[in-house]
Amino acid sequence: MSALQATLGTPAFEKHLIARKQKKSTRKKLLVATLTLTAMVDMFSVLVIFLLQTFSVSPETLITKGVQLPSAKTGQQLADAPVLAIAMDGIFLDQKKIGSSEEVLRQPELLLTGLGEIKSRWAKNHPQEPFPGEVHLQADRAIASSLVSKIMGILPSGNVHSIRLAVMAGN
């Protein structure tokens, strides 16, 4: 027996080596778990920031392509409602073209059918509430006011009782 073995004793030295190996493997496991948790917290932080920037408290209304809204000095915040847009190339209800202005004036059923679909969707999504009958009207500034008033005259037949004109803030 060597002097080192006599001093430490073989079984004690083996126990020391086994305990040291277990400590190393435990450290590695803890390190991996910590890195995984940190990455997950970072991912959730980025997700929360994205959601906060994407969704806002006030509803935003998309302006239909090809519509230049008139400007106004005063205005109000818009509530969530269907958007009827009168552009040079046609009339759109919630971004879907329903026809040209001449077609809609000749056949108002095109507009009334679209409003009926919106009303039925409202009834499915809000079974306890009556249809509010509100529409946001986006009319291009180059459209004649007589055409806008004729289109507005069709809306009460589709249970629309409140028409809000969309304008851009300006002078």
Q: Residue ranges per domain, the chain?
A: 3-54, 71-169
Partners of residue 71 on adjacent β-strands: 168
pLDDT in tens, the chain (171 residues): 455 555 555 677 788 778 877 776 555 555 555 556 777 888 899 999 888 877 755 555 566 666 766 666 566 666 678 888 888 888 898 888 898 889 988 998 988 898 889 888 888 888 888 888 888 888 888 888 899 899 888 888 888 888 888 777 665
Fold annotation for 71-169: Nucleotidyltransferase; domain 5 (3.30.420)
- Does the predicted TM-score (pTM) go above 0.85? no
Tokens of 44: 């959730």
Provide the 3-class DSSP secondary structure of residue 85. strand
Tokens of 163: 């028409």
